[in-house]
Chain A
Amino acid sequence: MKDAFRASMAWVHTWAGLLVCWVLLLIFAAGTASYYRNEITLWMQPELHAIAPSQDSQAHMAERAVIALQQRSPDAKQWFIGFPNERSQGLQIFWEDKLPPGVEPTRERFHDEMLNPDTGLPLEVRETKGGDFFYRLHFDLHYLPVTLARWIVGFCAMFMLVALITGVIIHRRIFKDFFTFRPGKGQRSWLDAHNITGVLALPYHLMITYTGLMLLMYLYMPTPIVVAYQGNNQAFFGELFREEPAPEPSGRPATLTSIAGLVTEAQRIWQGAEGGANVDHMHINNPNDAAASVSLDKAGNAGLIESGMSLTFDGVSGKLLHEVDAEQRAVVQTATAMRSLHEANFAQPLLRALFFISGLGGCLMIASGAVLWTVKKRQAQAKRLASGLPPTWGLRLVEGLNLGAIAGLPIAFATFFWANRMLPMGLAAREEWEIHCVFIAWAAVLLLAQWRPGRHMWQLMLWLGGLMWLALPVLNAMLTPQSALLTTLQHGPVAVAGFDITAMLLGAAICFAAWRTGKVRSQVRNPQRSAPPELAETEVA
C-alpha cells in the first residue's frame, strides 16, 4: 500500500517536473539574478561608476527632484521620488501622465529618470533596463501580455510546489542522500546530483516557491476578495495597507507646499524609530492642484517585517492628514515577512550571497532533474537504440529542449551583458535591443539543440557560454577602461568588482562542465548515454 502511494507520487514528481522544467529554469535563473538587480544595473551603467555616494540631506534632494518634476510634467497624475540607498546611488523620479477620461491606460503613461542627487541634473547613462530586465523576466516573462505571462509563471510555480512535496515523499533516505554523491556513474550520479541540490537547499526551495506564489495570489486566488469585498481589489488593499484613497483632482490650480519641508517634518516625527528616520520614497498625488496630497514611506526595515510606517500630508497647506504607525496585525506581518523572504530585501551581503547560491542550487536541481529523465529514458530504450533505431520523438525533443535551455541560458544571459557594452550608444530603442539580443541568442541555441541534440553540441554550447562569461571582465576592461576590475577593486564601486568576479567564477564553472563533458565521453564509450553526467555539478545560468 505504502509503495503504491510512493509510486504514484513518483509519477507525479516526474511529470509535473518535466512538463514545466524549462520555463522553471528560466524563472529560477532570472530570479537568482534579481537578487543582484541593483548591482547588475550599476554594472550596466558604467557612466555612474565614478560617482561617489551623496552626503546631502534628503530634504535638499527632494527639492531638486521637485524642480525636475515641475519641468517635466507639472500636471501629472502623480509624482514619485525615490531616495538613494546603500544599493542604488541615483535619485529616482517617476511620473504618471493624467489621462483624459475614456482613454485606455497603457504602460506608456509611466516615465522615469535618474538624477544626480547632488545636482538634480539627469544622469547621462546608456539606455539599459539593467537588472530590472531579470526582475521582470522572473514573473512577467517577455514579449507576452503581462497577465498571461503571470498565469504561466503561476502555473509553473504550482507544479514546482507539487514536485517539491512529492520529491520529499518519494525520498526514503532523505538524510543519508544528503551525503551521497557518486560521480562518474551515469544515472546514479545524476540522481545524486539532483538529490543533493534539491535536499541541501530544500527549505529555500519550498520557501521561495510558496512565497513566490503568494506575491501574485491576488491574481490566482481571487475568491476571498470577491466574497468579502465584492471583488473590489482597491478596497482590500486600502484596508490592508491602511491607506486613504488618493483624492480626485479638483481641477483648481494651487501652489504646492514645500516638499523639502515635509521631508524634514517626517524625519522629525520618525525620530528614534526603529531603522532610522529616513524616507524611502514619496508620492505626490495631483501636484499643483488644490487636491494635492503627499505621502512619505519610511525607510529602514529592522528585519523581516517592513515597518509599513507612512505619513500623508495635504499638498497645499502642508497639514498632516493621516499617520500610519508600525504594523501590528499578525497576519499582515506574516505576509510582509513572506514577501521580504522572497525578495531578500532585508538581507545583508552575506545572507544575500547565500540566497544567490541557493538560487543557483535550484537551477542545478531543475537542470539535473531534466537530464535525469533523458538518461533514464535512454536506458529504457537501450534495446531499441542498440538495434540502430533512433530514439523516440519524445526523448529526442526533451534532449533538445534540455540542451537548449540548460546550455542555452548561460549564453543568453551573457549575451545581455555583451550587448550592453557593444551596442552603439545612439542606437534607437537601445534598451530593447539589448533584450532582443538575449532572445535571438537563446533562439539560436534552441534551434541548434533541436537540430543535433548530442554530446558534441553540449560541449560546444557549454564552452561557448563559459567563455562568454569568462571574457566579460575582459570586455568590460577593454570597452570601459575606467570600470576595469583592477580599478574597481581599488577604488570601487565594490558591486562592479563583485560582478566581474562572479562572472569569472560562473564562466569557470561552465567551462569545467564543458571540459568534463568531453572527458567523460573519451572515458566511457557508452552509447546509452548522451547527456553529460557531470554537468549538474557546475551548471549555472
Chain B
Amino acid sequence: MQVYDEGNEVSDTGLVPRKSGQAQRKSDLAARKSTSGTSATGMRWAVFSRVMAAIIGAYVLTLLSIAVLALVLPMSRAESVLLSMLLSFLIYACAVLWVFATRSAWRAWGGMLLPSLLMAAGLGLWWSVK
C-alpha cells in the first residue's frame, strides 16, 4: 500500500500495522503479492471484518446512541429527536475512524458491540417500564 505523507513522499505502509512487523508488510491487499497464502487470507479476513465493523457495526452503534440521545436530551420531544438525528453522522464518522484506528479487528467489533448491547439493554428496560 502506498501512502502519501508530507504531501509528496511515497512510502510503503499498510493498514493498521501496529501489531507486528509481519502484519505490517502483509497488510495491503491489492498491491502486494503475499508470500504465504494462509496469513494473507487471514489479513484479508481481518480487513474485511473491519470494513464490516465500520459499515454495519458503527451504524448499529449510531442508531442506538441517537435513540438514547433522543430520550435523554433536555429539550422538547421534537427538538431532541431533531438534534440527535443531526448529530448522528458525526457519531457514525467518529465510530468508523475508531474502527480503523484501533489495534485489531476484534477490538473494533468489541468497541462497536459492547456499547450497543448496553444501550439496547437500556432501551429495552425503558420500553418495559414505559
The interface size bin for chain B is 35 or more
Q: Does A334 sit within 8 A of B, measured CB to CB?
A: yes
With A191-B8, A380-B2, A380-B31 already in contact, the answer to whether A227 and B71 are too (CB < 8 A) is: yes
Secondary structure call for the B interface: helix
CB atoms of A10 and B7 under 8 A apart: no
B3 proximal to A (CB < 8 A)? yes
Scan B68-98; emit 1 where CB is below 8 A from any A CB, else 0: 0111000111111111111011101100110
Interface pick from A116-124, A212-220, A428-436: A212-220
Q: A170 and B4: CB pair below 8 A? A: yes
Return the contact of B81 from the options A5, A6, A165, A224 (Cβ within 8 A): A224
Given A11-B3, A226-B67, A221-B88 contact (CB < 8 Å): yes
Residue of A nearest to B4 (CB): A191
Contact A170 B70 (CB under 8 A): no
Bound CA span A218–B85, Å: 8
Interface pair A377/B81, CB less than 8 Å apart: no
A224 B85 Cβ-Cβ under 8 A: yes
Q: Is the CB of A7 within 8 A of B17?
A: yes
A 191-229 binary contact with B (CB < 8 Å = 1; else 0): 110010000000000000010011001101111111111
The smallest C-beta distance from B29 to any residue of chain A, in angstroms, reads 9
> Shortest distance in angstroms between A87's beta carbon and chain B's nearest beta carbon?
28
- Using Cβ atoms and an 8 Å threshold, which residues of chain B touch A380? 2, 31
Q: Which residues of A contact B97 (CB under 8 A)?
A: 9, 12, 162, 165-166, 169
> Contact between A331 and B83 (Cβ–Cβ < 8 Å)?
yes
Are A335 and B82 in contact, CB atoms less than 8 angstroms apart? yes
Q: Please give, as numbers and ranges, the residues of chain B lying within 8 Å of A226 by CB-CB distance.
A: 67
Nearest Cβ distance between residue B105 and chain A, in whole angstroms?
12
Does B16 sit within 8 A of A, measured CB to CB? Answer: yes
With a CB–CB cut-off of 8 A, which chain A residues contact B123?
227
Contacts of A3 in B (CB 8 A): 5, 13
Those of B13-63 within 8 Å (CB) of chain A: 13-18, 28, 30-31, 62-63
For the complex, give the distance between the alpha carbons of A332 and B79 in Å: 7
The answer to whether A376 touches B89, judged by C-beta atoms less than 8 angstroms apart, is no
Q: Which residues of B contact A169 (CB under 8 A)?
A: 97
**B113 beta carbon closer than 8 Å to chain A:** no
A177 at interface (Cβ–Cβ under 8 A)? yes
With contacts A165-B97, A217-B88, A332-B79 taken as known, whether A223 is within 8 angstroms of B7 at the C-beta atoms is no
Bound: A136/B12 CA distance, A: 42
Q: How far is the CB of B26 from chain A (nearest CB, A)?
A: 13
- Given contacts A172-B7, A191-B8, A195-B7, A217 and B77 within 8 Å (CB-CB): no
Residue of A nearest to B19 (CB): A4
> Contacts A4-B18, A173-B6, A195-B7; is A228 near B70 (CB within 8 Å)?
yes
Contacts of B63 in A (CB 8 A): 221-223
B7 touches A240 (CB 8 A): no
Q: Are A223 and B89 in touch, CB under 8 angstroms?
A: no
Q: Flag whether B112 is at the interface (Cβ < 8 A).
A: no
| Known pairs A7-B15, A171-B7, A380-B2; A213 contacts B89 (CB<8 A) | yes
Q: Can you list 7 residue pairs at the A/B interface with Cβ under 8 Å?
A: A8-B17, A12-B15, A217-B86, A228-B71, A228-B81, A239-B76, A335-B82
Give 6 nearest A-B pairs by CB, closest first.
A224-B70, A7-B13, A223-B67, A10-B3, A239-B78, A11-B15
With A224-B80, A236-B81, A376-B2 given, can you name 16 additional A-B contacts, CB distance below 8 Å?
A4-B18, A7-B13, A8-B17, A171-B7, A173-B7, A214-B86, A214-B89, A221-B88, A223-B66, A228-B70, A228-B77, A228-B81, A239-B77, A329-B76, A331-B86, A377-B31
